[in-house]
Amino acid sequence: MKILITGGCGFIGVNLIRYLLKRGDYEIVVMDNFSVGKREYL
């Protein structure tokens, strides 16, 4: 399943992505405008 995560560089987005990657059943697309999140979290 393909999932779009908006705000993927913020606290909640990063942890959601980590959780989904551990499950291994998802293709993840991340969007963020970096207004609050940090690029190094990707």
DSSP states of the chain as a string?
Answer: -EEEEETTTSHHHHHHHHHHHHH---EEEEE---SSS-GGG-
Number of compact structural domains in the chain: 1
Q: How far apart are CA 24 and CA 37, in angstroms?
A: 24
Q: How far apart are CA 28 and CA 20, in angstroms?
A: 8
Answer whether residue 38 is part of any domain.
Answer: no
Across all residues in the chain, what is the average pLDDT? 89
9: exposed, middle or buried (C-beta count within 10 Å: 0-12, 13-18, 19+)?
buried
Q: How far apart are CA 12 and CA 19, in angstroms?
A: 11
| pLDDT beyond 90 at 18 | yes
| Prediction pTM value | 0.76
Answer whether residue 18 is part of any domain.
Answer: yes
Which domain covers residue 26, as residue numbers?
2-33
pLDDT for 12 equals: 93
pLDDT band at 34 (very low <50, low <70, confident <90, very high): confident
